[in-house]
Amino acid sequence: MTRAADILKLTPAGLYCEAGDFYVDPLRKVPRAVITHGHSDHARAGHEAVLATKETLAVMAARYGEKFAGTRQALHFGETIALASAQVTLKPAGHVIGSAQVVIEVAGKRVVVSGDYKRARDPTCPPFEPMPCDIFITEATFGLPLFRHPPAADEAAKLLHALQLFPDRPHTIGAYSLGKAQRLIALFREAGHHAPIYVDAPTSKLCAVYVAHGVPLGDIRLLASTPAADLNGAIVVGMAELPEGTNDPVTAYASGWMRTRKRARAANVDMPLIVSDHADWDELTQTIEEVAPGELWITHGEEAALLHWARTKGIRARPLSIAGYGDEEDPEAAPSA
């Protein structure tokens, strides 16, 4: 008899599926990896074989070069593949382009590794699909009941409002180059802002991946090759500095952490924008209720509150130590297996 809890094991290299002989989002180079999405802490270069959505493979190629893995295989959302005695299916996670939950079935038991995910609307990727399962492995980046992200379109509108008030200043937005940047650009386009938007080189490479996979972003231009005067009154997305000679900018920074006053002030920008590609507290608890798992494993983030909540709902829950804090009193404690 296979127990659901035996399908995945936590090893030093990350979550390992023995029945299928593969790792999910491994932390080190491994022979076979299934990758949920292209953020660098989940998608590393140098695995011998990588299985992911074609969008995630394209993101990895854009970031690490074409030789990022020995061999690669693309799986469509909803398509199932047999890896030894495990059946593997990728389902949308709604986090960034190509982001997938990994659904693993062995002998009638099902484990879902959600990767990073969100439930809020995002015009740049398909929405999260809840999958009932025996074990649900969730993140908890914003796992405290004080994190409730406002609609991202409202936050984008704040920036466009500032652009109306200060039509001669560049408006710079610090944003993660994969996902956040493209989501904001898409929201600006939806709100009717069709002027050129300037991006730094890392963001530009990833915008090209989005466009190549059917996500229109409008007129995107590279910041580095733009005369300073053209940036006045324009939106600039990314982390690069403005060239000399522009007017004083309006600065913004987009992150779910901007919810609290302390963090918003620490960002040291004119306009902290609360935009996140991670589930907030309500989305985490809603999702767990929908997938109704027999057991909940939490990979990383603010897990204490979510563990408490799950237990009050009668859901067995345990923290994994992947990327998480060890024992609070003893930072040297080994990860629990």
Partner 1 sequence: MNRLAALIARLETLNDAAMKEAFLADYLSETPEPDRTHARDLLDGKLKLRPAKLALIRGLAEARIDATLFGLAQAYTGDMTETIALTWVPNRRANRDPTLSEIVEALATLGRSELPKRIEAWLDACDETGRHVLIRLITGTLRLDRPREADAAPAADTQNELFRAAPRKDTSGTIAAILLYAERTNARARTSPLRCTFGIWNGDTLAPIGRCEVGPVEAEPIEHFIAEHTTARFGPVREVRHDREIALVAELAFAAITPTPRRKAGLTLRAPRLLRVLEGAAPSDAASLATLEARAKGH
Kindly list the residues in this chain that would bind partner 1 in the complex (CB under 8 A): 27, 39-41, 44-45, 63, 144-148, 150, 165-166, 174-178, 180, 202, 239, 248, 250, 253, 255, 257, 259-272, 300, 302, 304-305, 308-309, 312, 322-326, 328-329, 331-332
Residue 10 or 74 having the CB closest to partner 1: 10
Residue 110 or 259 having the CB closest to partner 1: 259
- Report the nearest approach of partner 1 to the CB of residue 99 (Å): 15
Residue 86 or 240 having the CB closest to partner 1: 240
Residue 27 or 83 having the CB closest to partner 1: 27
Residue 87 or 158 having the CB closest to partner 1: 158
- Report the nearest approach of partner 1 to the CB of residue 238 (Å): 9
- Report the nearest approach of partner 1 to the CB of residue 272 (Å): 6
- Report the nearest approach of partner 1 to the CB of residue 323 (Å): 5
What distance in Å separates the CA atoms of residue 197 and residue 247, rounded to the nearest whole number? 17
Q: 12 to each of 23, 49, 101, 158, 162, how far by Cα in Å?
A: 11, 19, 21, 44, 47
Residue 121 or 308 having the CB closest to partner 1: 308
- Report the nearest approach of partner 1 to the CB of residue 266 (Å): 5
CB atoms within 10 A of CB 210: 27
- Report the nearest approach of partner 1 to the CB of residue 14 (Å): 10
